[in-house]
Structure 1
Amino acid sequence: MSLIKKKIHPNGPEMSHLIAGMMRLNDWNLTITQRIDFIEKCIDLGITTFDHADIYGAYTNEKLFGEALKERPDLRDQIEMISKCGICLTTENRAAHKIKHYDTTPDHINSSVEKSLQNLQTDYLDLLLIHRPDPLMDAAELADCLMNLISDGKILHIGVSNFTTAQYELLQSKLDVPLVTNQIEFSLLHLNPIYDGTFDQAQKLNFSPMIWSPFAGGRIFHEESGVAGRVRHHLEEMHQKYQADIDQIALAWLMTHPSNPLPVLGTGNVDRLKSAVSATEINLDRQDWFKLLKASRGHDVA
């Protein structure tokens, strides 16, 4: 099967229902030919959206991906590229950074976007996300910068990552175009978006949130804790009922939420991506959904 693209906001881009996360691209040790093959196999599965950030791989991963596109420029029109900026890491690749910090000034955002475009071998980003809320963010100044990037055709859409609802509303109030998503952490071991208003805001504003760490960094499968053990036990109990592996059920649980989340999958294993695509076909029973919620929280709903 192959995924069908969906609009993540009424005025936003079409993205694939599952997103290929490129955070660990440098760890996969792929040749350029293997990187091209990976991109092609993702496209064949309907996973056409690729999630980057300038900092991934200590500022090297975007270039690795771009090397593949330089060899196969025809692939660019078949995919959507997301990148993020605003975090400044301390690394030998950025000697000027003496401490990890955030920077949402126009100089930094413009410079980051230019580097991402150059490294990714593209003229535009389908979506730019501000990676983390910056306590020194001047919302009006940042909004002007982002609108100029749109006017220049360097980015097509704007979103945020890890923003609270108040931070989202602040930046939105200064923009002439809608923010189209908030990329946030959500999993059976991290339920905050259900209760802190993030998913409520997504439904109110009609955007699909993007989900990073949908398997809690693998802790669902390996962590020896009470909560992980309970969740794993109930996922294994549902294996026969749904004829699905526990990772597929855990993914289906996330995607059942009516805000229509888009999970970001950080794997270079194509078989795992195929498994995730199959998970989009699972219709999780409402009571099973609440059974897993109870397993995570350790108690019934009120």
Structure 2
Amino acid sequence: MERIDIAPGITFSRIVYGMWRLGDGEDTAPSDVQAKVESCLEQGITTMDQADIYGGYAAEALFGTALKASPALRDKLEIVTKCDIVAPVGRHSAARVKYYDTTAEHINASVEASLKDMGTDRIDLLLIHRPDPLMDPDETGPALDALVKSGKVLSVGVSNFRPWDFQLLQSSMEGNLVTNQIEMSLLAADAFTNGDLAFLQERMIAPMAWSPLGGGSLFSEGHKDLMAALTRIGKEQDVDATAVAIAWLLRHPAKILPVLGTNNLARIARIGDAAKVVLDRQTWFELYTLAIGKEVA
């Protein structure tokens, strides 16, 4: 599978495995988690996407049980995780409200908890999960720089930031923010025209795309024509409609890294099919037109 340079000495697999729902269902034993990771590795998918809040602050520990049971896995992987969302569940059950915390104290505590839960000595990429209206960039930026200098975190970035949020944080940092993980899919295509993607592309920053299948809504009754086109193209190339929808993101020259999550082993085994799909310009626009519900101007 194609690999993308994220930072000096750090490359990610073009498709990233998302662990948001790792704790859902019954297949959460270390052997089950390991099987999911191994299936990804067989396809060249080496980058795993986590966040401290996933699974009510429990998903990282579930992942960690598999890494501890099979220590050799760690050096085959790149781990992405996120921090700054405080929700009144799990370790933060005493919180009165859900809020964001980008203070140095909270970021450092979150990193220590993530390292402990996942049983690793380093995080390949740490993201600030959501823009914090109370963020003091002169505190947050140096805190991120210090984590990189410590070696606990190898690179840092953001998630869900608009260009001005990105610039504000970057202005107080010595190092570089290396990505912005934003929502992008056929059903969430605003980033292609509102400047979010262009901002990253201009700076040669590889974007990451969360919910690349629209949270599953892509396959709902309301998108029959789009699904019919995805299914037709998939049959022509011997893949399913999901692979075509992901390939639509891969086709963009910004080198988007889709974060694709499923707990179904059969589906995990087919994630890499998206890399096989070839979409010419007219086919890309055919899907885009169906997605936005109108012909381009």
TM-score by length of 1: 0.94
The equivalent of 1:209 in structure 2 is 207
CA contact (8 A) 2:36 2:268 kept: no
Question: Taking every aligned residue pair, what percent have the same amino acid on both sides?
Answer: 43
Q: How many pairs align?
A: 296
Q: Does 1:100 align with 2:98?
A: yes
- The structural deviation recorded for 1:92 is 4.6
Structure 1 residue 19 corresponds to structure 2 residue 16: yes
The answer on whether the counterparts of 2:57 and 2:90 sit within 8 Å (CA) in structure 1 is: no
- Distance apart, 1:172 and its partner CA: 1.2
Say yes or no: does 1:224 pair with 2:221: yes
Match of 2:289 in 1: 294
CA contact (8 A) 1:8 1:15 kept: yes
Deviations 1:177-218 (A, max 9, x none): 111110011111111110111110121111211111111011
| Inter-partner Cα distance in structure 1 for 2:235 and 2:44 | 27
Secondary structure class of the residue paired with 1:14? strand
Equivalent residue, structure 1, for 2:110: 112
Between 1:160-169 and 1:34-43, the stretch displaced more is: 34-43
Q: What RMSD in Å do the two structures reach over aligned CA positions? A: 1.4
Q: Which amino acid aligns with 1:159?
A: G
Instruction: Give distance in 2, aligned partners of 1:155 and 1:240.
Output: 43
Is 1:251 matched up with 2:246? yes
**Residues 71-90 of structure 1: matches in 2 within 5 Å?**
71-90=69-88
Shift of 1:91: 1.3
Residue 238 (str. 1) matches residue 233 (str. 2): yes
Q: Which blocks of at least 5 consecutive residues in structure 1 are unaligned?
A: none
Which letter maps to 2:21? Answer: R
3-state SS of paired residue (1:280): helix
Q: Secondary structure at the match of 1:93?
A: helix
TM-score computed with the length of structure 2 as normaliser = 0.95
The corresponding residue for 1:285 is: 280
In structure 1, what is the Cα distance between the partners aligned to 2:254 and 2:96? 39
Contact 1:42–1:270, Cα closer than 8 Å, also in 2: no
Q: Is the 8 A contact 1:248 1:279 kept in 2?
A: yes
Alignment partners' CA distance in 2, 1:254 and 1:292 = 11
2:30 and 2:234 map into 1 onto residues whose CA distance is: 38
Alignment of 1:1-302 (within 5 A): 3-9=1-7, 11=8, 13-29=10-26, 30-221=28-219, 223-225=220-222, 228-302=223-297
Query: Structure 1 stretch 234-243 or stretch 173-182: which is displaced more?
Result: 234-243
Query: Helix, strand or coil for the counterpart of 2:270?
Result: helix
8 Å CA contact 1:214, 1:251 repeated in 2? yes
